[in-house]
Amino acid sequence: MTSGAGAEPGTTGGHGTLRGIALKIVSVAVFVGMQTCIKAAGDVPAGQIVFFRSFFAIFPIIAFLALKGHLATAFVTKRPFNHVARGVVGVGAMGLGFFALTRLPLPEAITLNYAQPLLVVVFSSVFLGETIRVYRWSAVAVGLIGVLIISWPELTLLNSDEALDDQEVLGVMAALVAAAISAVAMLLVRNLVQTEKTATIVLWFSSTASVLSLLTLPFGWQSLTPAQAALLIMAGFCGGLGQILMTSAYRHAEASVVAPFEYTSMILGVVVGYFVFGDVTSLSTLVGGLIVIAAGIFIIWRERQLGLERKRTRKATLPQG
C-alpha cells in the first residue's frame, strides 16, 4: 500500500526518533485517507484509479523538491530501464490493490496488504539468494497462517459455482496477488536505493505509472461525476504527501523503530471502515491481522538484530592500525 523508496540516512536522536515516529503515524493516516477516497469514489476501473493516484501525486512531490532546491537533479539517472521495470511491476501491484480495495471492506483490504513484508523475506531467499534463518522463516510461516485466517471466509467459496461472481472472493484473490507483486517491486526498489536518490525513485515511479496507466484507456475508462473526480484527485495528492512524510520519517529515525508503526493503519482502517462505510470488522480479520502484525514486527526486530551483528563483524575485521 504505502511502500515506496528507501530513504537516505539522516540524523537520529531522542527528539529525532519521536519526530520520525510522529511523521510515520501521520503518513499512515494520510495513506488511509488516500484509500478512503478511492473506496468512496465507487466502482471505477483500476487503471483509471492508478492514473489519478500516480499523476496527481507528482504535484506535491515536485512542490516539496522545489522547496528543498532538489528539483533540478531529481529526474537525473543512469538507470532508466531499472526505473521503468520497477514502474511496470509497481503498476501491476497498484492496479490489483485498488481493484481489491473497491471490492473489500476497508479493514480487510488494508490487513491483507500486510502479507507483503512476509513475501519480501521469501522472495529475498528465492531470487536474491539471501540467507534466511529459522527465526524469520518461522515468523513468515506464522504470518501466512494469519493471512489465511483473514482470507478463509472468502476462500471457502472457491468450490462453489458463485465464486467467480462473488466480488469479495475476487477482491481477496486480487489483494493477495497484489501483495506478491508488490514484494517483487520492493526487491527492485532495494536494488535502486543503492545508487539512486529517493526523489529520483519516487518521481520516476509516479511518471512511469501515469504513462502506463494511460494504456488502459481503451479498456473501459468511464466518465466520472465531479465528486468522483474530486475524490480521485484528492487520493493522488494524499499519495504524494504520504510519500514525502514517510520518507521524512525514515530520515529522522531508524527503520526498525519507525516501521512497526505502519500497523497503526489497521486501527485507522477499522475506525474509518465502520464510521464512513458501515463496515463491521470480522473476527477472522481481527485475529488474522494481529497474527500477521506480530509476525511482521518480529521480522523487523530480527532484521535489526542481524544488522547490528553485521556492523559488529565489520568492526571486528577492520585492519588494526
| C-alpha separations of 161 from 108, 153, 164, 166, 231 in Å | 23, 16, 7, 10, 35
19-23, 96-100, 115-119, 160-164: least confidently modelled range: 160-164
What would the pLDDT profile of 88-118 be if each residue is shown by its tens digit?
999 999 999 999 999 999 999 999 999 998 9
pLDDT at 158: 60
- For 44-63, the pLDDT digits (tens) are 999 999 999 999 999 999 99
What is the average pLDDT across 148-153? 89
Rounded CA-CA distance 321/312 in Å is: 18
Encode pLDDT of 179-217 as tens digits.
999 999 988 988 888 888 888 888 999 999 999 999 999
Check pLDDT > 60 for residue 149.
yes
Q: Residue 159 — very low, low, confident or very high, per pLDDT cuts 50/70/90? A: low
Per domain, the residue ranges of the chain are: 18-315
pLDDT of 316 reads 55
* pTM of structure: 0.85
pLDDT in tens, 174-187: 999 999 999 999 88
At 10, the pLDDT band (50, 70, 90 cuts) reads very low
How much of the chain, in percent, has pLDDT values that exceed 70?
88
Residue 245 CA: distances (Å) to CA of 34, 53, 72? 14, 16, 21
The per-residue DSSP string of 203-243 comes to HHHHHHHHHHHHTTGGGT--PPPHHHHHHHHHHHHHHHHHH
